[in-house]
């Protein structure tokens, strides 16, 4: 029995129109392990929403197979849907009702108890603002209420499609903190986004797609790789540059003095021997954005043909 919460194999989606066939999702093998936050990353138009819509039975797959909690979907979706919460499109809430009233109504509809409303409000950090009318909420609060609504049935899998779209930095941070806490509480979160910096801070694993194709997948640590460059801080960078160059080190172009090496002690030694004293030697790891841009370089907007 697989411990993958989401699994697709050869998943494909073609859109046909008079202009021809557009392949939005291209034989995609997706593997999302249980627990933690899994980033589903790709540029605009790379097929993230289409994939999510297929997983949730909102769009038909042209080919391939999908499993949620080990069950083949869409055929067995009714058996697992109660374990899944999703924010895919803008949810509809009554603008004149408070956040709490909206959640209470929803809880009654799905047969969830009043404690769940309390719990969901607290989890998304809306306690204290849940008595305010929905129409007075900031975009970030609206998005958090949408997440709270999905938590009423205590899902084991939460699928969030671009939850920070249109939010300002404060709103992004609010959602990020909420998502991180959910991941830490044991919920598996699939977080689709094209905003890398923010995703890097919450994801434990990630899948990167471009033009509907899988480009890379794995633990964020592994996707980033290990650092092979160090930032050198010295009072006289020109002198240090000359010393390191003379000692045969590879230096990167740029305003910072960056040296590529797997022997940082040798940098210290070379500079010390020349009487140039370090005040900083910091490993520089590639960030997810760099990895992402390298992987998706050349991808055009829109699906592959
Ligand atoms: N109903 C549709 N008919 C035709 N083409 C579609 C349809 N839905 C999506 N597409 C195309 O499929 C491709 C993938 O779109 P999708 O919305 O899945 O990408 P995305 O990665 O979610 O992008 P974004 O980050 O902009 O939301 C795009 O080229 C899009 O234009």
Please report, in tens digits, the pLDDT of each residue of the chain (305 residues total): 468 999 999 999 999 988 889 999 999 999 999 999 999 998 888 899 999 999 999 999 999 999 999 999 999 999 999 999 998 877 789 999 999 999 999 999 888 888 899 999 988 888 889 999 999 998 888 988 999 999 998 899 999 998 887 778 877 888 888 899 889 988 999 999 887 776 778 898 999 898 899 988 988 878 877 667 889 999 999 999 999 999 999 998 777 899 988 888 999 999 999 999 999 998 887 777 777 777 777 654 443 33
110, 133, 189, 217 from 74: Cα distances, Å? 21, 37, 20, 24
52, 71, 81, 121, 223 from 100: Cα distances, Å? 28, 34, 24, 8, 41
Q: How far is the CA of 70 from the centre of ligand 1 (A)?
A: 27
Please report the ipTM that was assigned to this predicted complex.
Answer: 0.95
Ligand 1, atom nearest to 59 Cα: 1
- Residue nearest (by alpha carbon) to ligand 1 atom 5: 15
24 within ligand 1 shell (Cβ under 6 A): yes
59 within ligand 1 shell (Cβ under 6 A): no
Q: Which domains does the chain have, with CATH numbers?
A: 4-224+292-296 (3.40.50.300), 229-284 (3.30.70)
Q: What is the pTM of this model?
A: 0.81
Q: How far is the CA of 211 from the centre of ligand 1 (A)?
A: 10
Q: How far is CA 230 from the centre of its chain?
A: 27
Residue in the block written with tokens 């929905």: 134
Q: Taking the alpha carbons of 205, 32, 55, 69 in that order, is the dihedral positive or negative?
A: negative
Q: How far is the CA of 250 from the centre of ligand 1 (A)?
A: 43
42 within ligand 1 shell (Cβ under 6 A): yes
163 within ligand 1 shell (Cβ under 6 A): no
């Amino acid at each position: 029995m697989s411990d993958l919460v989401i699994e697709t194999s050869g998943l494909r989606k073609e859109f046909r129109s008079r202009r021809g066939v557009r392949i939005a999702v291209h034989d995609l093998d997706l593997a999302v392990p249980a627990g933690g936050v899994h980033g589903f990353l790709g540029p605009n138009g790379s097929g993230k929403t289409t994939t999510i819509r297929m997983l949730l039975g909102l769009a038909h797959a042209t080919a391939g197979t999908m499993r949620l909690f080990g069950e083949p979907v869409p055929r067995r979706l009714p058996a697992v849907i109660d374990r899944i919460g999703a924010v895919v499109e803008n949810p509809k809430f009554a603008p004149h009702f408070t956040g709490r009233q909206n959640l209470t109504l929803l809880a009654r509809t799905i047969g969830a108890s009043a404690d769940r409303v309390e719990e969901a409000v607290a989890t998304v950090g809306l306690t204290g603002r849940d008595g305010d009318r929905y129409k007075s909420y900031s975009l970030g609060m609206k998005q958090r209420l949408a997440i709270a609504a999905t938590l009423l049935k205590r899902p084991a899998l939460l699928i969030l499609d671009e939850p920070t779209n249109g939010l300002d930095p404060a709103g992004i941070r609010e959602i990020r903190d909420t998502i991180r806490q959910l991941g830490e509480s044991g919920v598996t979160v699939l977080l689709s986004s094209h905003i890398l910096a923010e995703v890097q801070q919450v994801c434990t694993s990630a899948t990167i797609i471009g033009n509907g194709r899988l480009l890379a997948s794995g633990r964020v640590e592994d996707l980033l790789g290990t650092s092979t460059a160090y930032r050198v801080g010295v009072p006289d960078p020109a002198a240090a540059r000359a010393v390191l160059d003379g000692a045969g080190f590879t230096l990167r172009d740029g305003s910072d003095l960056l040296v590529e090496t797997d022997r940082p002690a040798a940098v210290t030694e070379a500079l010390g021997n020349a009487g140039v004293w370090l005040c900083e030697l910091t490993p520089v790891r590639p960030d997810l954005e760099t990895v992402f841009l390298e992987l998706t370089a050349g991808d055009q907007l829109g699906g592959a043909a």
